[in-house]
Chain A
Amino acid sequence: MNNQANNINDPKKAVAESLPGGGMLLSSSNPVEEDTALLKETFKEKYKWGFVTDIEADSAPPGLDESTIAFISAKKDEPEWLLEWRLRAYRHWLTMEEPEWAHLTYNKPNFDEIIFYSAPKSLADGPKSLDEVDPALLETYKKLGIPLAEHAALAGVAVDAVFDSVSVGTTFKDKLEEVGIIFCPISEAVHSHPELVKKYLGTIVPYSDNYYATLNSAVFTDGSFVYIPKGVKCPMDLSTYFRINAKSTGQFERTLIIAEEGASVSYLEGCTAPMRDENQLHAAVVELIALDDADIKYSTVQNWYPGDENGVGGIYNFVTKRGKCQGDRSRITWTQVETGSAVTWKYPSCILLGDDSVGEFYSVALTNNYQQADTGTKMIHIGKNTKSTIISKGISAGHGQNIYRGLVRIQKGAENARNYTQCDSMLMGDRCGAHTFPYIEVKNKTAKAEHEASTSKIGEDQLFYCNQRGISTEDAINMIVNGFCKEVFRELPMEFAVEARRLLEVSLESSVG
């Protein structure tokens, strides 16, 4: 469409350009094209954190069969019951088919080429403290800006860093132990607290749940385990960083968080990954359990490698995250900022079983270039007076496809259940897509479910307004996008909010719809 035609539909700009010197305000006679060019240029910004650490990996051979699973289990020195559980999952997985319902197009991963286990070799000796950790690893963290050692103390964050499937350093452990909190790699928890792991593992996401969760159950390598005892408020935010490092390593993290009666915890998860040409698979499972009056807040900033501007490479992020508000008056909050991955398939969910329990989901998902994200949530209301809130903000740019898919199910016994859903999409450029697929199932007449959605672009009049006041187009876009995402950002813990904003700015400098 030519510029004149645009003006007809945008009276403010038409007026601006008809005034003497009016066009000057827009810095060019053809601002739309110029802005688009600027957009294209800044969107090309290279992935900042694409580097590879050279560590001799102790890997399983590529491909998956029962011996691979036995290998992983043996590496971890796991008890018999866990190996059996893995094998049950694997046998079930063989009967399953990769789901096709998602609004995504991608080449299905070739499981014969994936290396299902890879551990940095220097770890075999088992570092006892940070001093013993491979300096190359620490260097990697430094590049990532992870506050592991003294940074951790300054930031007040306990980091359980996962580096290619094996946790290498755990800080603040003593401090947490004082109040009885268990925060350790799940592979360690299997040995140190087998009764807890056995009791809860797979109760929220059963091994037969879905294709990728089942795969994870068979081959999961490591992840975090958190147990907050009765009545304990976790004194600090818990944090973990995942990082895919060795080439062709599928990462299969398994996280289990249990909050006993009256406990509360805030858990942060953040991801960056090195640059790769081939697609890598990331299939994690996260399980949360909140008992009476417990409160779990799970925040994610996801920045896996999204592939290049032609859609080559990038991570496949197929994740199953689910929390169960088992006790009365419990609360689970999911907050996510999704800017990375070539393909994302992720629905952090809440099962609201306890009476008066609360589920919340706040999400910002950004897709640029050829990224695709099919993400959203599920809120299953079972208990009485349960409440859920869903705020989803989708931003699409380039050829990105952003899909919100959310289920709100109110079961028959969920008297007075309430749901409020708001999903807003923002489009930047005319070759991207924003899609909304809500599923609302109501089986109780006293329940109230509300769904609102809107789709918009950054208006030329908004940009013009900012330009006029001396704000550059780039800053104006940042401002508008930040405003658009504000409802989600304010739910993030402080340090994540800062990171999230920076992440969006990197991805979104100078974009114009």
Chain B
Amino acid sequence: MITTAIDNSVFEKLHKTEAWMFTNVSALSKIDFACPSEVDVSVIATHDIAPENPFVVFVNGVFQEGCSRIADGISVNADTHGDIAARGDSLIPRGDSSSVSITGTHAVTVHVLQIVTGDVPVACFGNVIVHAAEGESISLAETHIALTDQNHVFMPCTEVVAEQNSNVTIVRSIRGSKEAYHLGSLHVAQHESSTVQTHTITLGGKCVRNEVYAYLDGEHCESNFDGMYMLGKDQLVDNHLRVEHNEPKGNSREFYKGVLDENAKSVFTGRIYVKEDAHQTDAKQTNQNIILCDDASCTARPQLEIYADDVLCTHGATTGEIDEEALLYLRSRGIPKDAARTLLIYAFLNESLDELTDDGFRTVLVDELLSNLPGGNFIRTLYL
């Protein structure tokens, strides 16, 4: 049994640092976190999105062997950590949990389901290690769901090593209770000519921090780090990225977009770091926000730190309302105002989901998005 004894005090002063200045999690330092309780395993079945695929289930950080389907190349070990996370300056505490290791080539997406639940606040970790050897291809879907409305704190940490010519895709979705805290991190080390794509989709949670640390350690790396969020009352998402171009000819894209309703808050901090002599780096980062309510707010810090001269780096951030002209276009064609608004928001967010290649997972996420979206049922009647 894994205990969840964590040192609460680390949360108290995190927001005093530059990296956390817009995200205050000091409330966590006052919560007594309990040990995980017994779980009704029947709920797990409802989240088994792809019954044919390998399936690894954790509840409160504890591996559920009975519900999981383990394939070749997937193993669950106690207390193992990768060494990629140590390269960054992440302040999220690390802890022990059963770790999933994924290696080899997988024809279908491996689904890792992490459930946090309990009648009292629970704190737990989830460690995943992905190692794609030369030429291998791995697709991973991580679903993080808090089932109960408690101040749970879940701290998943996924470490990825992509060796030469390998290909790794990770879709991480944060769903469920709008009371839970989610402090997640992804650490990626890439070797020559490898391709890594991550999609971080935030639909649930009260305070969600998604950190991505990427190290492009070989030439010709391709990296795509995307994010999407749809937030409502009292929700905050903090997407925090650092992409290090350490070798020439790397190509990285960060594209984060979201919609903020009621008093939701979004924070985006992206740092592209280009090391000396990492010439012909091509890096782009973009953050787009649509604000629906007067009380919503967003903060963007798209940052460039460049020490090489032959590079192409751009960043951009936009914030605003729904495009009035697009709205007029739809209304002039007889679509009611509310419906037109919903349609435009959906189109804006769905662009991000369209990139997901696995139909099963995309359908689930579209469905979840629609239930979060004001007027989502209207879209449902149109499309589904």
Report A's interface with B, CB cutoff 8 A: 1, 9, 101, 103, 412, 425, 427-457, 513
**A442 lies within 8 A of B302 (CB):** no
**B306 lies within 8 A of A433 (CB):** yes
How far is the CB of A250 from the nearest CB of chain B, in Å?
A: 28
13 contacts across the A-B interface (CB closer than 8 A): A427-B309, A430-B279, A430-B309, A435-B306, A438-B301, A439-B300, A440-B298, A440-B319, A445-B291, A445-B294, A445-B296, A454-B314, A455-B312
Chain B residue contacts of A427, Cβ below 8 A: 306, 308-309
**B303 lies within 8 A of A435 (CB):** yes
**A442 lies within 8 A of B297 (CB):** yes
Contact flags (1/0) for B313-351 with A, using CB distance below 8 Å?
A: 111111111000000000000000000000000000000
Residue of A nearest to B311 (CB): A455
A455 touching B304 in the complex, CB below 8 Å, given contacts A432-B309, A441-B297, A442-B319? yes
**B301 lies within 8 A of A437 (CB):** yes
Q: Which of A1, A103, A432, A449 contacts B319 (CB 8 A)?
A: A449
Top 8 closest pairs, chain A to chain B, by CB: A427-B309, A445-B291, A443-B297, A440-B300, A436-B304, A442-B319, A457-B309, A441-B299
**B309 lies within 8 A of A513 (CB):** yes
A441–B297 Cα distance when bound, in Å, is 7
Chain A residue contacts of B301, Cβ below 8 A: 437-440
Q: Which of A9, A433, A441 contacts B307 (CB 8 A)?
A: A433
Residue of B nearest to A101 (CB): B18
Chain A residue contacts of B18, Cβ below 8 A: 101
Interface residues of B in 260-311 (CB under 8 A from A): 276-277, 279-280, 289, 291-311
**B297 lies within 8 A of A436 (CB):** no
Chief secondary structure at chain A's binding surface: strand
Residue of B nearest to A421 (CB): B317
Chain A residue contacts of B295, Cβ below 8 A: 412
Chain A residue contacts of B320, Cβ below 8 A: 445, 447-449
**B316 lies within 8 A of A457 (CB):** no
Chain B residue contacts of A412, Cβ below 8 A: 294-295, 297
How far is the CB of B203 from the nearest CB of chain A, in Å?
A: 21
Chain B residue contacts of A443, Cβ below 8 A: 297
**B309 lies within 8 A of A442 (CB):** no
Chain B residue contacts of A457, Cβ below 8 A: 309-310
Residue of B nearest to A1 (CB): B279
Chain B residue contacts of A452, Cβ below 8 A: 314, 316
**B310 lies within 8 A of A442 (CB):** no
How far is the CB of A457 from the nearest CB of chain B, in Å?
A: 4
**B315 lies within 8 A of A453 (CB):** yes
A438 touching B309 in the complex, CB below 8 Å, given contacts A445-B291, A445-B292, A448-B320? no
**B315 lies within 8 A of A442 (CB):** no
Q: Which of A430, A435, A441, A446 contacts B276 (CB 8 A)?
A: A430
Residue of A nearest to B293 (CB): A445
How far is the CB of A383 from the nearest CB of chain B, in Å?
A: 16
**B306 lies within 8 A of A434 (CB):** yes
Q: Which of A428, A435, A448 contacts B304 (CB 8 A)?
A: A435
**A451 lies within 8 A of B315 (CB):** yes
A436 touching B303 in the complex, CB below 8 Å, given contacts A1-B279, A427-B309, A428-B309? yes
Chain B contact-residue range equals 35 or more
How far is the CB of A354 from the nearest CB of chain B, in Å?
A: 21
**B276 lies within 8 A of A431 (CB):** yes
Chain A residue contacts of B312, Cβ below 8 A: 455-456
A467–B280 Cα distance when bound, in Å, is 24
Q: Which of A101, A435, A440, A513 contacts B310 (CB 8 A)?
A: A513
Chain B residue contacts of A455, Cβ below 8 A: 304, 306, 311-314
Residue of B nearest to A103 (CB): B305
Residue of A nearest to B280 (CB): A9
In addition to A427-B309, A432-B309, A440-B301, 19 A-B residue pairs with Cβ atoms within 8 Å of each other are A101-B18, A431-B276, A435-B306, A436-B304, A438-B303, A440-B298, A440-B300, A440-B317, A441-B299, A442-B289, A443-B297, A449-B318, A449-B319, A451-B317, A453-B314, A453-B315, A455-B304, A455-B306, A455-B312
How far is the CB of A399 from the nearest CB of chain B, in Å?
A: 10
Residue of A nearest to B310 (CB): A457
Contact flags (1/0) for B16-60 with A, using CB distance below 8 Å?
A: 001000000000000000000000000000000000000000000
Residue of A nearest to B249 (CB): A9
Residue of A nearest to B301 (CB): A439
**A439 lies within 8 A of B276 (CB):** no
A363–B170 Cα distance when bound, in Å, is 42
**B291 lies within 8 A of A453 (CB):** no
**B300 lies within 8 A of A435 (CB):** no
A437–B316 Cα distance when bound, in Å, is 12
A437–B272 Cα distance when bound, in Å, is 10
A455–B304 Cα distance when bound, in Å, is 9
Chain B residue contacts of A454, Cβ below 8 A: 313-314
Residue of A nearest to B307 (CB): A433
Chain A residue contacts of B318, Cβ below 8 A: 448-451
Chain A residue contacts of B297, Cβ below 8 A: 412, 441-443
A58–B303 Cα distance when bound, in Å, is 47
Chain A residue contacts of B315, Cβ below 8 A: 436, 438, 451, 453
Chain B residue contacts of A438, Cβ below 8 A: 300-303, 315, 317
Chain A residue contacts of B279, Cβ below 8 A: 1, 430
How far is the CB of B66 from the nearest CB of chain A, in Å?
A: 48
A37–B197 Cα distance when bound, in Å, is 42
Residue of A nearest to B290 (CB): A445
How far is the CB of B275 from the nearest CB of chain A, in Å?
A: 11
A444–B263 Cα distance when bound, in Å, is 11
A57–B113 Cα distance when bound, in Å, is 75
Residue of B nearest to A448 (CB): B320
Chain A residue contacts of B306, Cβ below 8 A: 425, 427, 433-435, 455
**A447 lies within 8 A of B319 (CB):** yes
**B299 lies within 8 A of A439 (CB):** yes
How far is the CB of A483 from the nearest CB of chain B, in Å?
A: 18
A428–B302 Cα distance when bound, in Å, is 23
Chain A residue contacts of B313, Cβ below 8 A: 453-455
Q: Which of B289, B308, B316, B319 contacts A430 (CB 8 A)?
A: B308
How far is the CB of A71 from the nearest CB of chain B, in Å?
A: 38
Residue of B nearest to A412 (CB): B294
Chain A residue contacts of B307, Cβ below 8 A: 431-433
Q: Which residue, A103, A430, A457, has most C-beta atoms of chain B within 10 A?
A: A430
A9–B310 Cα distance when bound, in Å, is 10
A433–B307 Cα distance when bound, in Å, is 4
**A430 lies within 8 A of B310 (CB):** yes
A436–B271 Cα distance when bound, in Å, is 9
